[in-house]
Structure 1
Amino acid sequence: MSQHPNSFPKLHNAAWPGVVGKGDDDANPIIPLDEMLDLTAAAEVDGRKFDGVDLFLFSPHVSIDADDEELEALAEKVRSRSLNIGTVVAPVWEPTGGGSAGGSPEEVDAFLKQVRKGCEIGKKLRELGVRPYGCIRLDSAMGVADWVKDPEANQSKIADTFKAASDIAEEYDERLAAEGEICWGGMQSWRKMVDLLERVGHPERFGFQADMAHTLLYLLGYNAPEDAILPQDFDWSDEAKKAAALKELTHALRPWTIDFHVAQNDATVHGTGSHDKTGRHCLPNDPNGKLDIAKDAGYWLRDEHGDVLQTCKHICWDGCMFPNDVMHKPETWNDILAAMLSVQDAHGWNE
């Protein structure tokens, strides 16, 4: 028997680390999509390779306004490297043409316009045969500082916007996944995220994207101390308390989870622009990492009885903000692929 006997969930790398946080200094220019695809396709562990990539619909990788010819060329780029496309990120934020989901009518219209464009691209990539699974990822595009000025009104407004986005997704037979990241208003804690999901109330179209790095910070209550499960000075050597906290968190959010990011986190935060106190991703083997990646992924990928859920047909590595010299090393991606395989080995299946 192969030492990696499972074929699902499929293993994806993220292309957006080539764009996010890049271009601000000469040492870390944007890494082109072709190069990110090559780095992904070259990785290999025990004869296994990445199955695909998740994409950011943002130039210069993939324009949210890409036409059919550009999407056909994208499909060929991916297909020629024996990869698939999974979840795609819609650029719903104001600087990229969108607007706040809790903002003015004009901002909401801009937000929904980006969602529609993302769904249209997602559908076309499915029709081109390179996207067999995956969601359209979004968030509230509203900072926590703005949200707390009027929590109830803003939460209601965001929920209404997400309901309208769900109606758009239905037109294209797509699903929307809201990323649980603590920098976004209305989504900055696990309780607020559950509240928002319940208010939207469209589980067939609107669900949760769990990122292991970001959801670890849900436990600590950064940006929402009232919802903390663990103290911010928690002793991470206390495995029993950590396990109990993860069980409480995943019990609440796992029923909504339709997309999953494998990641590592050292339980610290940093902020860049609108990303206020967001998670600091680490390499999978970082000695400061607080997650046991394969074990802790199981809190999300198995149900209360320990049975594999098979809800997420693919999982994605979401490490980003690494320096380019790290990202250009083949061993970086081999180590990441090995971590992904450990999750598939522990919680995977065959079809």
Structure 2
Amino acid sequence: MSPDTPRIVVTRALPPAALEPLHTVGDVWVSPHDRPLSVEELHEAVRGAAAVVSMLNDRVDDAVLAAAGPDLRVVANTAVGYDNLDVPAITGRGVLATNTPGVLVDATADLTIALLLAVTRRVAEGDRLVRSGAAWSWDVSFMLGSGLQGKQLGIVGMGSIGRAVARRAAAFGMDVVHHNRRPVDIGGSRQLALDELLETSDVVSLHCPLTPETRHLIDAAALHRMKRGAYLVNTARGPIVDESALAAALHDGTIAGAGLDVYEDEPRVHEGLRDLDNAVLAPHLGSATVETRTRMAELAVENVVAVLTGKDAVTPIAVTSNSVPSR
């Protein structure tokens, strides 16, 4: 391609078929590493780029933008959340930021229910027991868990994923309540103040974005407001939960259990969580279906192609108070 051909940087491998349209509009560089790029590698990779297809573990801040230089036109984040993007810094340089909303709603809601069942019915704990080869036998009190019928599910963040979880929970006979930053009228669910939701729910499921206001929203005080037999599920963002406080609460029985798909400092997990039988730990699998991850890649690519061909992006990120970088 000619020297004027736009340079497109993809920070981690995506399905080749999804990437194919990029080759029609630019010179594509895909990271050869099966891991996140270091800060230094990311700075080097983006130099002279017109477009960057980023992943949720790429921190795109002013330093990355400066390294990219004046040709940068779009940062396409391959995720629905964008707390890894300094959106005001990006848009302040006249660069467009995009994400991949909508396509991972069902996959993440399904995983939320999977974690809920795994922790309340002790599925992962039972799996470890069987694989260990330890002796066990059935009796009426063996590995008792908690049923869901008639229990209250408190959803924090009633966006698309929260609503999808509510629909699934209703099929299990759960009573759904919710807390949302802005009041929303959801059939079959009552809006509660956060403290009341924490104090009355048998399961609390987190689906809010990570912002400065929601960082450590679930801290030691919040955990102590929960019922002693309650469960916490987090498929949103790790830093919404104070992991140290959660590990202590699970260890001393302040709450009964937790199902986690996200962590404060991924891929590191707080050591206090790893040895607890009442913690089910998944490695950020919320969107991990073939169909969903492929569609996420396709949507990120569609955004890049649109911008580089002078069209409107499919899913631009609007600059709001929640676009302030939070980590």
TM-score when normalising by structure 2:
0.30
Q: Name the larger-Rg structure.
A: 2
TM-score when normalising by structure 1:
0.29
